[in-house]
């Protein structure tokens, strides 16, 4: 089975897109946060690979074409931000403080968790880029000696959890400001959180897109400092 599918260049691509379409349909049908399209797509993909005894390398031969789109898709998030430049100028200081605070909080909580659970330095480095987009996180993890594979998984899990719990948390904490919602989702849950922010509204989506870029830059700079703390 694995050899047969290995002859298909686009098997991984078709499987990934098909699984996500199924996930989106389930989410629209039941409208529950737990039915996150990406989470469902991951589960479907893993099940098919296991049942078909298909290796990851075979799957990735086609799926890698989706990976190539990560960087341009992240850049494209600047489009909704352009439409909200007036909002950005008016609230610039508050927005920057929010993003900086969120980024630093992510680093500090990682440090505390690693100290409490006595994780290794490699595991610490692997977890540090968990809240930024995959394209940047993978490179940082590799550069500082972390595990790229685990970093990717942690980034995806972080995004899914943020997307699933965002509305409940906003309601619980009575956060109604669209700018605050967007900053929180973009800073903590990168592109996956941003997709959720876009569902909430244009302002939320624009602020989340900005947060991805700024938090990514801040993370690159902060890694040089925090990598030395544990």
Whole-number CA gyration radius for the chain: 18
User: What pLDDT is attached to residue 8?
Assistant: 64
Helices marked H in 53-201? 56-67, 70-75, 78-82, 85-90, 92-116, 121-127, 134-143, 148-172, 178-200
Higher pLDDT, 227 or 73: 227
User: What pLDDT is attached to residue 4?
Assistant: 54
Higher pLDDT, 62 or 178: 178
From the number of C-beta atoms within 10 Å of its C-beta (0-12, 13-18, 19+), residue 116 rates as exposed
Band (193; pLDDT cuts 50, 70, 90): confident
From the number of C-beta atoms within 10 Å of its C-beta (0-12, 13-18, 19+), residue 50 rates as exposed
> How far is Cα 116 from Cα 174, in angstroms, rounded to an integer?
31
Per-residue pLDDT tens for 73-121?
A: 767 767 777 777 888 888 889 999 999 999 999 999 999 999 999 999 9
User: What pLDDT is attached to residue 84?
Assistant: 76
Residue 127 has pLDDT above 80, yes or no: yes
User: What pLDDT is attached to residue 134?
Assistant: 81
What is the average pLDDT score of the chain? 86
Residue 170 has pLDDT above 80, yes or no: yes
DSSP 8-state secondary structure symbol assigned to residue 77: T
Helix orientation angle between 56-67 and 37-51, rounded to the nearest 10 degrees:
150
Cα separations in angstroms, 5 against 15, 16, 25, 46, 143: 11, 14, 26, 15, 34
- What's the distance, Cα to Cα, between the start and end of the chain in Å? 46
Residue 227 near residue 144, CB atoms below 8 Å: yes
User: What pLDDT is attached to residue 33?
Assistant: 74
User: What pLDDT is attached to residue 7?
Assistant: 53
User: What pLDDT is attached to residue 196?
Assistant: 87
Short-list 45, 48, 46, 22, CA closest to 35: 22
Per-residue pLDDT tens for 5-58?
A: 555 667 888 888 999 999 889 988 887 777 888 889 989 999 998 888 888 888
User: What pLDDT is attached to residue 110?
Assistant: 92
Percentage of the chain exceeding pLDDT 90: 35
**42-46, 64-68, 223-227: least confidently modelled range:** 64-68
The encoded tokens of residue 29 equal 């049908």
Residues written for the chain? 230
């Amino acid at each position: 089975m694995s050899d047969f599918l290995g002859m298909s260049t686009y098997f991984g691509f078709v499987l990934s897109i098909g699984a996500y379409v199924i996930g989106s349909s389930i989410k629209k049908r039941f409208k529950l946060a737990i039915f996150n399209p990406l989470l469902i797509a991951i589960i479907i993909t893993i099940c098919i690979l296991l049942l078909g005894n298909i290796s990851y390398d075979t799957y990735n031969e086609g799926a890698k074409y989706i990976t190539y789109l990560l960087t341009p898709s992240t850049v494209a998030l600047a489009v909704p931000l352009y439409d909200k430049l007036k909002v950005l100028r008016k609230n610039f200081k508050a927005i920057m403080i929010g993003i900086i605070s969120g980024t630093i909080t992510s680093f500090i909580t990682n440090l505390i968790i690693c100290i409490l659970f006595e994780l290794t330095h490699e595991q610490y480095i692997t977890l540090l880029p968990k809240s930024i987009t995959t394209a940047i996180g993978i490179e940082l993890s590799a550069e500082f000696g972390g595990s790229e594979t685990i970093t990717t998984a942690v980034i995806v899990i972080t995004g899914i959890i943020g997307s699933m719990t965002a509305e409940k948390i906003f309601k619980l904490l009575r956060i109604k400001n669209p700018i605050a919602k967007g900053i929180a989702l973009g800073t903590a849950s990168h592109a996956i959180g941003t997709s959720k922010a876009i569902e909430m509204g244009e302002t939320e989506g624009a602020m989340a897109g900005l947060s991805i870029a700024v938090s990514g830059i801040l993370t690159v700079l902060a890694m040089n400092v925090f990598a030395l703390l544990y």
